[in-house]
């Protein structure tokens, strides 16, 4: 074996602790990169394949009731490749042995045929044949939630009539990859499902013979969407158009795109943090190794080794550390990526979830890690190789020794000799001390980031479901009804309090920005719905103007006092210019609000509502549900507790799983970094500590010097770790804000305490291990000259 190769393996064995520490950090960055990139590719590939195979539409529009003759005119619009009409409506579903309310969306299929757009992939059974008017295909998630199979029967209340339906098949549609109820933020497969039925049967049940209320359009290649949307709106306007919209505004597609954006943020931010920390520590390690090996390097050059061989030797050391981290990260990342993919497959339903660990992601991770490592160490290595042998053979220039305030009588009387040695060592090499402080602070910042997400998510959900939403139930009516319907609800068993609301879909526009959302009107002094996540600031609902959420305001670029254009997308569409009265902050969803009676006036209707919030006694819940199900005007019943449970499960299964892994890695990295610094301090002080022992200092005094120096560095690093962790948290929160939720930027004492305690525990364990080495120190060997 060549001498330099022997030296390489000897150095690695000597620095096993530091090597393991840095390799662990690299492994963490590589693992996160592989997990996020693999799942990102899986979602993209699965979505693209499903859209193409099932001909997912580009534009969608709904109307109240339009004649079928309009379909041909829609097909003649410039840029339209194909237009297909259908019937789509909400129904109430009843399943044996499930007492809670279920709502469903019923969509028509061409009698006995496959749709041309938004085709349904049949996973079990078959589509209803022509003439099978009491047969349906149901969505796979709903079937799994209720253990339903082809041949089973369910009941549906269709247009006020109870119908008994037979399941002929189980399927999935690209339109409902993310299967979401109309008032839900997250899928609830047991309480919401998609159902497909022959068009003839639906037309008969909903008085839609010769008519449709939904149309889907695919565009020709290269066709612009806006002209088609405008002409489609004009075509359907006399028939209660609710506004055409592009695929980018379709609910399922929106959620997929937001998940992709979040994964892209995580695929960049987290690996950059980990690999940046690793690069910094590699630079520190290699600089100190080269400094401590001045004379061996000079001897090698004196024996004829060229500069490039010296450079290659030390870069090989860097290479081994990086490759070790990459290999561990690749193995663990590949092993963990598939279970994470299974979680995504639960929320995003594809006929085939095309997950496979991409070799390209491993190559990318290795390339990034190697580039970061070599860039971090190349300057120190090159500087060492360029030094002349005669210069390198000389010992380093001694540090400047002179009297300072440490030698004044007052300081000498108040502090012992070991304390003065500790402070003098730190003052004489401030850059080294600063780098040590910064390295430990980076790991403490990672600890704070890991704990931040858990606390912030709890805070976010507490705001939404303890402060903003104070009701138990939310019911929706089939049609807007007079507010006197509240009296009927208040008379139901177990109802303690009820408030009505009016909600309409809108498109809100400012300048060139627009967004589809809903406008919610409720009582000015509501007891069940608050408007701001800050309890100390509760704006009043305006009788003139609207309130909008801060995230929507930022998207539109508006502030209080600005005017926005609001297009009401209901059966009686109208366009209004409304002033933004105020901006409120809410963690979930994007919305607009105004006082209910003011909204009624804008809509030119009487005191109507189309939903209600209810507080009820839990003991009478089953009886109340039974009574509500018997009311044909109620189309859906939602439990707030179920909504909270669903979003907690979603966050637990996705973001918090990643954060838990991050927290475990941050803990191990913190120990690795602190121990790495302790080992380096001990290695650089070994000769000095042995000298002090020979001069008569006790083992305890020598230990105090070593421990004291590390303790000061650790204590100085904690406030900086808090600052760095706060910055990491802000970056993650900013990057992960979506239409679904915005994690609040809220820091509390627990996070800072957790970070500090983690660093202190790592320091304590490192000190124990270093003291073992100190107590076994061979003074004679340490004092020998090199």
Please say if the pLDDT value at position 205 is more than 60: yes
Shared domain check, 665 and 591: no
Report d(CA 565, CA 575) in Å as an integer: 7
422 three-state secondary structure = helix
Structure pTM? 0.76
Report whether 183 contacts 638 (CB < 8 A): yes
- 391 and 366 part of one domain: yes
At 786 the pLDDT is: 47
**Does one domain contain both 301 and 357?**
yes
Q: How far is CA 523 from the centre of its chain?
A: 34
Residue 390: per-residue pLDDT: 60
Same domain flag for 138 and 259: no
Q: How far apart are CA 314 and CA 294, in angstroms?
A: 13
From 350, 365, 398, give the residue that closes a domain.
398
Cα–Cα distance list, 242 to 19, 215, 489, 583 (Å): 63, 11, 29, 26
Is the residue at 483 inside a domain? no
Q: Which of 703, 672, 103, 195 is nearest to 444 (CA)?
A: 672
Q: Say if residue 419 is in the same domain as residue 444.
A: yes
* Mean pLDDT along residues 464-491: 87
Asked, for residue 480, whether it belongs to a domain, the answer is no
120, part of any domain = yes
d(CA 245, CA 235): 14
Which stretch of 231-240, 365-374, 573-582 has the lowest confidence by average pLDDT? 365-374
Q: Indicate if the pLDDT at residue 30 is higher than 70.
A: yes
Q: pLDDT, tens digit, for every residue of 525-558?
A: 888 888 876 666 677 788 888 999 888 898 899 9
Sign of CA pseudo-dihedral 687, 689, 690, 695:
positive
In this prediction, residue 781 carries a pLDDT of 56
Residue 318 and residue 423 in one domain = no
160, burial (CB in 10 Å: exposed 0-12, middle 13-18, buried 19+): exposed
Please tell me the predicted confidence (pLDDT) of residue 395: 60
pLDDT at 285 over 90: no
Pair 255, 380 in one domain: yes
pLDDT tens sequence across 681-737: 776 666 766 776 676 777 777 777 777 888 888 888 899 999 998 888 888 777 767
Q: How many residues does the chain have?
A: 786
Same domain assignment for residues 381 and 245: yes
Q: In this predicted model, which residue has the larger pLDDT, 618 or 702?
A: 618
pLDDT at 48: 93
Range in 99-108, 363-372, 509-518, 694-703 the model is least confident about: 694-703
Residue 622 lies in a domain: no
In whole angstroms, give the CA distance from residue 381 to residue 311. Answer: 6
Domain co-membership, 251 together with 303: yes
Boundary-marking domain end, from 557, 582, 616: 616
For residue 620, the 8-state DSSP code is G
Q: Is residue 403 part of a domain?
A: no
Dist. CA 783–CA 474, nearest whole Å: 79
Asked whether residue 595 is assigned to any structural domain, the reply reads yes
Model confidence over 246-278: pLDDT tens digits?
998 888 998 898 888 888 888 887 788 788 878
Cα separation, 107 vs 126, whole angstroms: 16
Tally of structural domains, the chain: 4
Least confident of 260-269, 426-435, 615-624: 426-435
pLDDT tens profile 181-194 = 776 767 888 888 99
The larger pLDDT score, comparing residue 715 to residue 9, is at 715
Confidence tier at 399 by pLDDT (50, 70, 90): low
According to DSSP, the residues that pair with 580 across neighbouring strands are 546
The Cα–Cα gap between 238 and 576 comes to 18
Give the distance, in angstroms, between the CA of residue 119 and the centroid of all CA atoms in the same chain.
30
Helix (H) or strand (E) holding 574: strand 574-584
Last residue of a domain, one of 162, 184, 207: 207
- 740 & 665 share domain: yes
Domain with 3 in it: 1-59+222-398
Please indicate, yes or no, whether residues 34 and 113 belong to a single structural domain of this protein.
no
- Averaged pLDDT, 447-463: 79
Give yes or no for a contact between 365 and 326, defined as CB atoms under 8 angstroms apart: yes
Q: Average pLDDT, stretch 607-629? A: 88
Above 90 in pLDDT, residue 749? no
How far apart are the C-alpha atoms of 745 and 734, rounded to whole Å?
A: 9
427 and 541: one domain?
no
Give CA angle at 76 (70, 81), nearest 5°: 110
Q: Is residue 482 part of a domain?
A: no
> Is residue 21 within 8 Å of residue 676, measured between CB atoms?
yes
pLDDT at 409: 63
Please indicate, yes or no, if residue 630 is contained in any of the structural domains: no
């Amino acid at each position: 074996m060549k001498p330099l190769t022997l030296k390489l393996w000897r150095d690695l064995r000597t620095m096993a602790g530091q090597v393991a520490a840095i390799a662990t950090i690299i492994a963490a960055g590589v693992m996160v990169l592989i997990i996020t990139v693999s799942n990102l590719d899986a979602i993209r590939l699965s979505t693209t394949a499903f859209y193409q195979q099932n001909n997912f539409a580009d534009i969608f529009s709904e109307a109240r009731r339009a004649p079928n003759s309009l379909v041909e005119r829609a097909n003649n619009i410039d840029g339209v490749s194909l237009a297909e009409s259908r019937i789509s409506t909400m129904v109430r579903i009843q399943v044996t042995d499930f007492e809670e309310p279920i709502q469903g969306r019923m969509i028509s299929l061409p009698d006995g045929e496959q749709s041309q757009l938004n085709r349904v992939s049949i996973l079990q059974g078959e589509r209803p044949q022509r003439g099978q008017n009491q047969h349906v295909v149901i969505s796979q998630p709903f079937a799994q939630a209720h253990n339903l199979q082809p041949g089973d029967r369910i009941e549906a209340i269709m247009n006020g009539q109870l119908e008994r339906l037979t399941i002929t098949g189980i399927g999935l549609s690209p339109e409902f990859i993310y299967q979401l109820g109309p008032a839900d933020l997250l899928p609830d497969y047991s309480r919401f499902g998609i159902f497909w039925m022959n068009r003839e049967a639906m037309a008969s049940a909903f008085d839609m013979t010769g008519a449709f209320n939904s149309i889907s359009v695919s565009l020709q290649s290269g066709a612009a969407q806006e002209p088609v949307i405008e002409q489609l709106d004009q075509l359907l306007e006399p028939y209660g158009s609710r506004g055409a919209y592009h695929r980018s505004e379709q609910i399922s597609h929106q959620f997929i795109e937001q998940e992709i954006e979040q994964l892209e943020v995580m695929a960049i931010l987290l690996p950059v943090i980990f690999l940046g920390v690793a690069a910094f520590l590699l630079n520190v390690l290699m600089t100190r190794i080269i400094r401590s090996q001045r004379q061996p390097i000079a001897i090698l050059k004196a024996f004829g080794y060229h500069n490039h061989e010296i450079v290659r030797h030390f870069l090989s050391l860097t290479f081994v550390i990086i490759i070790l981290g990459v290999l561990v990260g690749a193995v663990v990342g590949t092993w963990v990526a598939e279970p994470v993919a299974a979680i995504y497959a639960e929320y995003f339903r594809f006929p085939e979830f095309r997950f496979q660990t991409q070799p390209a992601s491993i190559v990318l991770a290795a390339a990034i890690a190697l580039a970061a490592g070599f860039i971090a160490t190349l300057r120190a290595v090159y500087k060492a190789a360029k030094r002349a042998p005669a210069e390198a053979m000389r010992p380093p220039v001694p540090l400047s020794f002179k009297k300072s305030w440490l030698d004044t009588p007052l300081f000498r009387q108040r502090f012992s000799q070991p304390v003065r040695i500790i402070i003098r060592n730190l003052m004489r090499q401030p850059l080294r001390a600063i780098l040590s402080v910064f390295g430990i602070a980076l790991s403490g910042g990672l600890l704070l980031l890991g704990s931040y997400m858990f606390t912030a998510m709890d805070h976010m959900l507490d705001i939404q479901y303890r402060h903003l939403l104070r009701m138990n139930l939310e019911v929706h009516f089939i049609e807007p009804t007079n507010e006197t319907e509240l009296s009927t609800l208040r008379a139901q068993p177990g109802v303690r309090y009820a408030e009505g609301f009016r909600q309409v879909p809108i498109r809100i526009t400012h300048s060139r920005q627009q967004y589809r959302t809903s406008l919610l009107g409720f009582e000015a002094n509501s007891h069940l719905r608050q408007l701001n996540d800050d309890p100390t600031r509760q704006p009043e609902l305006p009788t003139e103007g609207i309130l909008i959420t801060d995230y929507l305001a930022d998207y539109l670029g508006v502030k209080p006092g600005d005017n926005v254009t609001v297009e009401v997308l209901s059966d009686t569409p109208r366009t209004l210019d409304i002033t933004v009265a105020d901006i409120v902050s809410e963690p979930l969803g994007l919305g607009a609000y105004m006082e209910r009676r003011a909204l009624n006036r804008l809509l030119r209707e009487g005191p109507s509502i189309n939903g209600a919030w209810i507080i009820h006694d839990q003991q009478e819940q089953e009886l109340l549900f039974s009574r509500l199900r018997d009311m044909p005007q109620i189309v859906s019943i939602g439990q707030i507790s179920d909504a909270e449970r669903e979003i907690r499960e979603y966050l637990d299964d996705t973001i918090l799983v990643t954060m838990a892994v991050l927290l475990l890695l941050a803990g191990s990295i913190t120990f690795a970094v602190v121990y790495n610094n302790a080992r380096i301090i001990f290695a650089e002080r070994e000769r000095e500590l042995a000298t002090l022992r020979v001069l008569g200092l006790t083992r305890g005094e020598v230990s105090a010097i070593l421990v004291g120096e590390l303790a000061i560095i650790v204590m100085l690093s904690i406030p900086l770790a808090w600052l760095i962790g706060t910055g990491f948290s802000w970056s993650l929160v900013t990057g992960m804000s979506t239409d679904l939720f915005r994690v609040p930027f809220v820091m509390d004492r627990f996070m800072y305490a957790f970070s500090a305690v983690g660093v202190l525990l790592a320091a304590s364990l490192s000190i124990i291990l270093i003291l073992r080495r100190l107590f076994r120190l061979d003074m004679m060997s340490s004092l020998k000259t090199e």
